[in-house]
Chain A
């Protein structure tokens, strides 16, 4: 891997794809771990089916499961992967949150947004590492990026979802892609990661497959120099796996 080339790409476009950052075994073990989480939550009634959305409601996003599950935490703190991001941003990183998507067939994508709008890392921004767990493209819910949009400030969303309306948890906003920018689909294989900047505008497409789930996990990180956050400010995990606390960022929402 030519790390210099990836860094250049990351700094220029706001995102870059690293092939085979995780092994097939790591990918399979992580999926198995989330299958266990699913079985236990359905059995206990924590996941409840909504008959108006029978399939999608059975497979909600699993947020911050790393706080209770060592295997998932280990995945999110994989040293060789974090080192790449650290070389991009020239400082050590800490884990803010994890989100796992089962993304069942026919599930809608997530609209265009910038992650740091809701995560609120300051000073600086958050960074994301999205790991592909199934072969993805535009047809089964793959991600799309707007190159160079990370150089923009946080934009004012057209529409902010509230907790009731937003199945993705209340910190997603809908943006329009500014004039003159391109939208690029990323096609990935299991184990590939996309590392991207917290201001990079991105979305994901609908899973149009009739029968294939499109599992993926996204982990968000901040640099050690960041002081405040909106999300999980008191549940940050450092690279040793210790829980640390930062200050709450009250001014994140415009």
Chain B
């Protein structure tokens, strides 16, 4: 096996909470991933499931596409790339499991993703999530690149302190927004196609708005956790191991995001876990 990540890089990951591992996917693999999602997109536009909304036509034409690894064997193959499992094993310290995947086109004009912590809603216990964010374009601050608040993975999950009675808003990206802690700062990163940015599920992070006229910021984001996970909320019964087999854990009815809700079902009412069909 090729050593994709050095000891120093693993230490850097634990210190900062994120690391960019360069050149993990080849150009051919990057093109293949984009092509598969492009094909799904054409179908979704054709059958009317995706359509342009008047106020934000270009953003609405390119929504996030979630959990297509379960619908498309080629995407499953790219998600289960053994080098990525090896990388994740090296940073998690145990065999990883896939929780979910999200593909973003992030077309020009698409708004920012506010600063948040992934495990606030994922509810992985014990431990946290680990993201592998595959860069499928050149990304920077202009086209919606990632941003991190270094070192915040050491923190507990924050409370965004939003109004819990407005359920839809409460569970939205905006509802999960948290502020930059005093004395910390937001760091923008740049990536090339094929790079994999690995980050801890407790780190405060987000992404910029795409303010370019003509550059997408595509990525395939896979959320992992360690095999010793006992409970989680999202996809608790649809985890996937290295062999592509379905793995099941218990449902976590005690996620941070649901703490202020009267019932654990409000998270479902809010449509938070709805996948794009």
A-side residues, CB < 8 A to B, are: 35-36, 39-40, 42-43, 45, 48-49, 51, 54-55, 58, 104-106, 210-211
Contacts and interface: CB of A to CB of B under 8 A. Distances in A.
Contact of A55 (B38, B45, B58): B45
Given A39-B107, A39-B108, A40-B214, A51 B51 contact: yes
Contact of A211 (B38, B54, B109): B38
Interface string B90-128: 000000000000000001110000000000000000000
Given A36-B213, A104-B42, A211-B38, A43 B109 contact: yes
B61 interface: yes
Categorize the interface residue count of chain B.
Answer: 10 to 19
Given A55-B45, A211-B42, A42 B213 contact: no
A42 B46 contact: no
B4 interface: no
Contacts of B73: none
Given A49-B51, A54-B45, A58-B52, A42 B214 contact: no
A250 to B, nearest CB: 40
A96 to B, nearest CB: 28
Nearest to B39: A211
9 contacts: A35-B214, A36-B213, A40-B214, A42-B52, A51-B48, A55-B42, A58-B45, A106-B46, A211-B42
Contacts of B109: 43
Contacts of A58: 45, 52, 61
A54 B107 contact: no
Contacts of B42: 55, 104-105, 210-211
A163 to B, nearest CB: 23
B106 to A, nearest CB: 12
A73 B109 CA distance: 27
Interface in B172-194: none
Closest 8 CB pairs of A and B: A36-B214, A211-B39, A43-B58, A49-B52, A55-B46, A42-B58, A43-B109, A55-B45
Given A43-B57, A58-B45, A211-B38, 15 more contacts: A35-B214, A42-B52, A42-B57, A42-B58, A43-B58, A43-B109, A48-B52, A51-B48, A51-B51, A54-B46, A55-B42, A58-B61, A105-B46, A210-B39, A210-B42
A39 B52 CA distance: 12
A52 to B, nearest CB: 10
A106 B45 CA distance: 12
A36 B39 CA distance: 20
A45 B54 CA distance: 8
Interface string B57-69: 1100100000000
A43 B42 CA distance: 18
Contacts of A36: 213-214
Nearest to A44: B57
Contacts of B46: 54-55, 105-106
A20 B198 CA distance: 44
A58 B57 CA distance: 11
B150 to A, nearest CB: 33
> Of residues B38, B57, B107, which shows the largest number of chain A Cβ atoms within 10 Å of its Cβ?
B57
B136 to A, nearest CB: 16
Contacts of B47: 54
Interface in B194-229: 213-214
Nearest to A56: B46
Nearest to B49: A54
B95 to A, nearest CB: 36
Nearest to B35: A211
Contacts of B107: 39
Nearest to B109: A43
Nearest to A105: B42
A40 B51 contact: no
B52 A40 contact: no
Contacts of A42: 52, 57-58, 61
A140 to B, nearest CB: 14
Contacts of A104: 42
Contact of B213 (A40, A45, A51): A40
Contacts of B39: 210-211
A44 to B, nearest CB: 8
Contact of A43 (B48, B54, B108): B108
B51 to A, nearest CB: 6
Contacts of B54: 45
A39 B214 contact: yes
B214 A45 contact: no
Contacts of B48: 51, 54
A210 B47 CA distance: 13
Interface string B6-30: 0000000000000000000000000
Given A35-B214, A40-B213, A45 B57 contact: yes
Nearest to A43: B58
